[in-house]
Every structure is written in C-alpha cells, then in structure tokens.
A and B are shown apart, each in its own frame.
Chain A
Amino acid sequence: MDESQRSDEGRRRFLKSVGALGAAIPAAAAAQHAGHVAVKAEKYMFLAPAEVAFLDAAVARLIPADDLGPGAKEAGVTYFIDQQLFGGWGAMAKMYRQGPHTEGTPQQGYQSPLTPQEVYRAAIAEVNAACAKQYGKSFDKLATAQQDEVLHALDEGRFPLDAVPPRFFFNMLLDNTVEGFFSDPIYGGNREKVGWKLVGFPGVAAAYTAHVEKHGVPYDALPVSIEDILQGKSALDEHGHPKHVLLVRKD
C-alpha cells in the first residue's frame, strides 16, 4: 500500500466517524478543518509585502475560513493572484491595449489603460491610504467588521478610488479570488484542493460513462489535480483519465 492509499484509508475511517455530519456538506469537505492546510513560505514575484498583507486580509473576508473548512487565504489565493499578475494575464497578454481610452458604458466592459498588475498596485495603495486616514491603520490591521465595511463600499461603488472605478477593482479581486479558490492547484491556489473538497468537485475528470446514469447517487471522490497526475500520484486509465478513489460513506 503506498502513501496515498494509506491516507485515503485514514480519511475513509474519519468519514465513517463523522457520518452524521449532514447531507448538505460534501463528504470530502467534512474531512478538512479551517486551519488544516500546510503553510509554506511563498516566493512572491510581483506583490510587495504590504500588498500580500492586504490581499491575505481581503480574500479571507471574501471566502472566510469557517466550520465548512479553509477559506481563500488558507487556500493560497494571495499567491495565486501574485502568479497571475506576474504572468501573461497580469500584463494583458491576450487583451487589446491600444487607445484612445475612455471609460465608456458598463456594457462596454474593461476600458482601463491599466494592466491588472497596475490595477492591483494602484488600488491597494489607495485603499490602504484611505484606511490610514479614516482608521489610522492599513486595511490588513483593521477589525474584520471594518474590513467588511471597506469591501462593501468598494463592491457598491461608494469607496472613492482614483485609478479605477471602485467596483472595477472589487470585481477583479473577487473574480481572481474565486479563480484562486477553485482552479487547479498547479496555479498556486486551491491548496490541498480545499475549494474542490468544499463543493464536492472531483477536479480532473475520470471516465464517467458507468456513473452518469446512477441518478441521485453521490459521487464522493477524492479530488485529483493535474499535479497529482504529473507526479504519478493517481492511477490512470488507458486514455489518461484518473481512476478516482471514492470515499465510502456509511451514513
């Protein structure tokens, strides 16, 4: 029995012991607790320490850690955003950048001349400066209720920003947070597949031909990531699809 199978056994036993947890929460999510994600020191490529602190605080409010499991901060979403900003997307690699630039209507979408890199850099500085003025400290040092107030103000367009419209920045941040929470862990977020476990998504798909007509039967698979496959941690079928390990629920 290899390491991964052993840990599956452990999870299975654990699941049996918490079998009464309730049907609403996917089984894999029940196997994780808020703090149970190994934290490693990340090598940030774009974000400055103050920006890391801001994002750690902000994403922890957008997707908080709670009794359902880890949140965006624990999932490594800040690091995910760093990597995305440093890569092609952050520099608008596949986006049209030529001017002239005007803000246009909401229906016309992204019209800022700033790249996502520049949007984050400018907006975080502005939010922190405004928090310092109003509360005497930066966003990450505020009480969570105050942080929520700031985020709501951005979301509702009430928080004055100069570089970009407040909702433009907030939507980018929320979109990236969701991406970082649910994308393949190969991008640095969704650490230990916490996002997938939360919702019961198996990640890289198996061949489901034999399952698709098992109507209403939960499919509680241990999620498989691209990295798992690249590292040989998942058994594969002849087409390269992982053979999912199903968690057996006795409830």
Chain B
Amino acid sequence: MPTKLKPVDAVVVGVGLSGTILAKELAEAGLHVVGLERGRWRDTDPDFAMPHAHDELRYVKRHELMQDLSRETITFRNNAAETALPMRQLGSFRPGEGVGGAAVHWGGLTWRFLPWDFETRSRTLARYGSEHWPAECTSQDWGVTYDELEPHFDRFEYLYGISGKAGNVKGKIIPGGNPFEGPRSRDYPNPPLKTSYAGALFKDAAQKMGYHPFPTPSAALSQPYTNEYGATINGCVYCGYCQFFGCEMGAKASPQTAVLPNLMKQSRFELRTHANVVKVNLDSAKKRAVSVTYIDSRGREFEQPADLVLLTSYVFNNVRLMLVSGIGKPYDPVANTGVVGRNYAYQTPSGVTLFFEDKVFNQFMAAGGLGMTIDEFNGDNFDHAGLGFIGGGFFQAATSGSRPIEVRPVPRGTPRWGAEWKRAVAKYFNRSFGIAIQGACQSYRGNHLDLDPSYRDSYGLPLLRMTFDRRENEHKMSVWLTNKAAEIAKAIGPSKMNVTPRTEKYTIVPYQSTHNTGGAAMGADPATSAVNKYLQSWDVPNVFVVGASAFPQNGGYNPTGTVGALTFHALAAIKTRYLKRPGLLA
C-alpha cells in the first residue's frame, strides 16, 4: 500500500522549464506546492563545471544530461501497418532528465510563433480555400491568438533575459529586426549576440537579395542580466559548448540560472527528486484528480493528494500520464474520435552546407542561438498559391558550435572513410558552415501517440507508442525551402554546396531536433483538443497539461519561446480565475 501524504494545494509533475515557473509563482501566491522530479538535482556547480563541461563524447554521444532509456523509452513505427519497436538508444531527439529538464541542454533559440501559426487552419482556408488543405491534415487553430499571448511572450523573454533585436514594436517596423514577427510591446531585454563570420556573409548576401536578415533571438545572453526573480544570468563567452551541454558560465538562461535560485527559497515549495509519478488518481466520476502516485529511489510508493495537478514534464510523459490515468478520451485514428495522443507532430529540418577553399570560419566559437536569420519563408509570410503545401521555416546561418565528433561536414561524394575522407575532413572542418532550415510540421490523422501493447517500462507500465511519418506537404515544403536557401548560399560563393532537403521516410536514428509536439493539443473544441485554451483538461479541470504537448501542430521555429508564453498564459488563468473559482474555465 502506498504511504498517503499530507495534502498540498498543488503538485507539479516534472520540474523543468514550465514546472519551475509555475511552482515559483503559485508558491508566492500562497499555495503549498510540491515539485516531483523523476531525475536528480542538477546545478551549474558542480554538474556543469569546467573542465569536464567541455567533453563532447560525454554530453553529445553518451547523453549525460539526457533521458536514461534503460528505465523508460518510447516505441516507434512509421505507420499503423508496422509493429512499433522500442527506441533502444537516443537518436532523432534527446529529451532531458533531472531538474531543469531539457531546458538545461537546450540550444537557446527563443522564438515567438507567428500570429498565423496560432490560426493555421482558419487563415489557410480563408486565404487559399479548402482545396489547398493537405490530405488527412488535422492541424487546427490553437484557441488562443498571438495577441492574447503577447504579454506572456514578453514576460518569458524578460524572465530569461533573451538577447535579440525587435523587428516590430507595437506595429512599427524596426530596421535590423524581424519585420515578419507579430507586434511586440517592447524590445528584447538584451541586445543581440555578436555576429559570426558565417552570419556576416549570410546577412550580406540576404540583404542584397532583398531579404531582411536579423540576429537570431538567443537565451545565451549578450551581457550579464538580473531578472524579475532577482536571478543573475551571466554574459556568454562564445565557448561553443552550448546545445546538449549545461553552461559552466551560467550564461545560458535555464531553470537553473533564471528561476531555481528564487524557487528554492520559497518556503511554501518543496522539491522531491527521484520521485517518479506513475499515475494521476481520479475520483470515481473521473471528473477530478485527487492525488498523484509516485515511486521513490528506494521503491517506496507514495500518494500525494493535491487540489491542483500540473503536468509539466516533456511531451511524451505528459501524454503518457494522461493515458495511463484516464484523463480525457484516447485518440483513435481509425474512428477519428478521442483526443489524447492526437496531433503529434515534429519538425522538418533541412539545410545547405557551404564549402570554401579560402575562408576560415572558426565555427567552434559559438553559442547555441548564435546566428543570422531570415523569416521571409516561414508560416504564411509568402504566397503559397500553387506551391502545393502550407507552412515554412526560418533560414539561419548557424554558429551553434562545431565539435568534430558530430560536426565534420564533407562535400557530397566524399567517401565515408579512408584517406580521401580524412583529407576532406581536415580541409573543410573549419572551411564550411551551414544554412539551417527549421521547417514546420503539420499534424495528420495517422500520426499519433498511444500506449504500446507489448513493451513496458521499469515500473511495468506500458511505454508510449509513437506512430509518425512526415507527409507530402512536409516533403514538398522542404524541397522548396531548401532550394530557396540554396539560392542565398550560391550568392555567398562557396566552392561546393550540399543541398539537403528532407524527403525520406522519417527515421528515429540520426539526430534531427528535440522538438516533439502535441498529443495533448489545445483548442476551442473538446472534440478535437485534449486541453482548452488555458491548457486545462476538458475532462478533469483541476489538471493542467503545460508544455509543447499542447501544440496542435509545430511551426517553423524552435518551440521553447512559445512553451514559455503558454506557461505564463496558463499561470495567469490559474492565478486570476481558477483559484478564485475552481472549475472548467470558459
């Protein structure tokens, strides 16, 4: 029998980017909050300390900061005709584990999705008509608009101290920023990072072609910054060990640098690490969560009663806990009914690699979010008439850290090994850079998450099963976008280029991005969304499910900025409305 603990006001399941913010704010508002984190405590010192912080093998290839699959993984298949098999080692994406979650090892690109992204379906139908809508596409409006989220984007950017250059302040277009972004109430809290050589060449070529390049908004900070929680985030030194690493400088905004110093001082907050939540317990009517059950590192089972349950773990665990606990109706892609597991999406990354004979780029001097971007070909910023696809992505000359185990591009046609390979690696390691495209990914009827019928985790619970492939829309988009990027690349004048659109069957093997989205999609209609516009479960209103799990489809950006905005948006609804009158928010 589990040990029944003293009731608390709120329990936060997963102490990462969303969980730390919600816990801090609710504790300060007077609630007793318990944070349950299945991994361990991690902090800048000693966990990311020099010199071991700069170890590519350990962090990139042996996944020091990432999920231990021996305990729990997912299963994967491309389509329902296949048998899903476990993801036995990390590949396509790298979820985090431990306090701070994936926001410890994130790359720090901090975007606001476009106004169009939040109204993908209605705006597409209005502009192009239903014949332009992709087959079996279940992408939808989010139930919330960019304008509603703007104050929350602003709050998150100022909490994390994002470095960037505004392009649209209250409707006024600012030269040097992104003219396509939704109007923002004010500029970024910190100026942009410095410009790398790759970024400078890209900027020059893009400008000559009539585009509007701007510095990528970054959570690696251009200067020291103290946020509203009194936490000081340091200035980045461009060491280049950023994405997949913890920051030894405390210069990358993360739960550790931006929130935890304050949160851990909150007298009404208690953190429990190695606390693996296996179920949210509902009342007999299945309309109210009464507690969560978790298992600690000694195998002891505890029941923690709480009035409010906040699921704030990574996409997969948010969705799995809903399915295991019976929160909302599971999605059935055959009948096209149910909502939990519906609208799983991902990203469609592609790119162009440029090789030079006479230029040296020092791409190892870098920050995760260091780059120059254009947004001309994102969302619906360009006319899609006759193109046969919806969506787009930003193009970025990225200087995010070239380390030779993983980043050692060679021109296409070079053998995979041997003397010729060695010569090409030696020559081009420092004489190449890439233009990366963060392509969007729509949601489709057959792409979904559910519980695997065969494979189990170390607690005996079913693994989450992913059924996913990109569709014709994504492949067409990727080809078109990548050819556009190749035009810019050509204008820069490399001796050789690798142009690599994403057109093959989705594979879980090579790394692509840790941008898994959906499964607990938000929306205005309970028939097609698992949570409402406040990220509140339609069926069990004292459960909020916060994170990229709420994205009904993925935009052509990294998701974290929008996750931060949704977190503050849900928080505002909880604080100002739900706590005063608990129940389903209309």
Contact = CB atoms under 8 A, between A and B. Distances in A.
B70 A92 contact: yes
| Smallest CB-CB A-B distances: 8 pairs | A240-B50, A199-B429, A207-B237, A205-B239, A208-B365, A215-B197, A183-B57, A107-B507
Given A199-B404, A208-B238, A208-B240, A184 B55 contact: yes
B419 interface: yes
Most interface-central of A98, A206, A236 (chain B CB within 10 A): A98
Contact of B365 (A88, A96, A179, A211): A211
Interface in A23-51: 23-26, 29
B237 A195 contact: no
Contacts of B69: 94-96
B50 A239 contact: yes
B422 A66 contact: yes
Interface in A42-74: 61-64, 66, 68, 71
Contact of B430 (A66, A106, A199): A199
A134 interface: no
B417 A62 contact: yes
A174 B241 CA distance: 24
Contacts of B365: 205, 208, 211-212, 219
Interface stretch (A2-10, A108-116, A124-132): A108-116
B108 to A, nearest CB: 16
A159 interface: no
B85 A104 contact: yes
Contacts, number: 203
A218 B509 CA distance: 35
Interface string A130-154: 0000000000000000001001000
Contacts of B509: 106-107, 109
A166 interface: no
11 contacts: A26-B430, A108-B508, A183-B61, A196-B404, A205-B240, A205-B364, A207-B238, A209-B237, A211-B238, A229-B50, A239-B237
B431 to A, nearest CB: 8
Contact of A230 (B51, B86, B89, B417): B51
Contacts of B61: 179, 183
Contacts of B56: 182-184
A25 B408 CA distance: 15
A13 interface: no
B427 to A, nearest CB: 5
B57 A184 contact: yes
A151 B417 CA distance: 10
Contacts of A217: 360, 362
B26 interface: no
A239 B237 CA distance: 10
Most interface-central of A94, A105, A177, A211 (chain B CB within 10 A): A94
Contacts of A212: 194, 196, 238, 362, 365-366
A102 B77 CA distance: 13
Contacts of A16: none
A89 interface: yes
Given A95-B88, A199-B430, A239-B249, A63 B417 contact: yes
A216 B365 CA distance: 12
Contact of B360 (A66, A206, A216, A240): A216
B55 A25 contact: no
Interface of A: 23-26, 29, 61-64, 66, 68, 71, 88-89, 92-98, 100, 102, 104-111, 148, 151, 155, 174, 177-179, 182-184, 186-187, 195-196, 198-209, 211-213, 215-219, 226, 229-230, 236, 239-242
B286 interface: no
Contacts of A23: 358
A201 B56 CA distance: 12
Interface of B: 49-52, 54-57, 61-63, 68-70, 73, 76-78, 82-83, 85-89, 91, 194-197, 200, 235-241, 248-249, 357-362, 364-366, 402-405, 408, 416-419, 421-423, 425-427, 429-430, 454-456, 505-509
B464 to A, nearest CB: 12
Nearest to A228: B51
Contacts of A199: 404, 408, 425-426, 429-430
B430 A96 contact: no
Contact of A110 (B89, B200, B423): B89
A102 B358 CA distance: 49
A107 B85 CA distance: 10
Given A66-B419, A195-B404, A216 B197 contact: yes
Nearest to A213: B194
A174 B417 CA distance: 8
B248 A240 contact: yes
B88 A96 contact: yes
Contacts of A93: 70
B78 A107 contact: yes
A42 B400 CA distance: 36
A108 B85 contact: yes
Contacts of A174: 416-417
Given A62-B417, A179-B57, A218 B360 contact: yes
Given A207-B238, A208-B240, A219-B365, A109 B89 contact: yes
A150 B579 CA distance: 69
A85 to B, nearest CB: 13
Given A62-B417, A182-B404, A211-B365, A96 B73 contact: yes
B362 to A, nearest CB: 5
B92 to A, nearest CB: 9
Contact of A207 (B63, B239, B508): B239
A251 to B, nearest CB: 14
A203 B426 contact: no
Contact of A98 (B51, B86, B235, B418): B86
A239 B234 CA distance: 11
B510 to A, nearest CB: 9
Given A92-B88, A201-B429, 11 more contacts: A24-B426, A26-B430, A71-B422, A96-B86, A107-B78, A183-B405, A201-B364, A209-B194, A213-B195, A215-B196, A219-B365
Nearest to B463: A96
Contacts of A218: 360, 362, 430
B88 A110 contact: yes
Contact of A198 (B63, B194, B417, B425): B425
Nearest to B237: A207
Contacts of B241: 205
B50 A64 contact: no
Contact of B418 (A61, A183, A184): A61
A26 B50 contact: no
A102 B418 contact: no
B239 A198 contact: no
A174 B405 CA distance: 11
Given A174-B417, A184-B57, A25 B87 contact: no
A94 B430 CA distance: 33
Contact of A107 (B50, B83, B506): B506
Contact of A211 (B70, B91, B362): B362
B85 A102 contact: yes
Contacts of A211: 238, 362, 365
Contacts of B357: 24
Given A94-B63, A209-B238, A63 B78 contact: no
A226 B51 contact: yes
A168 to B, nearest CB: 11
B401 to A, nearest CB: 9
Contacts of B197: 215-216
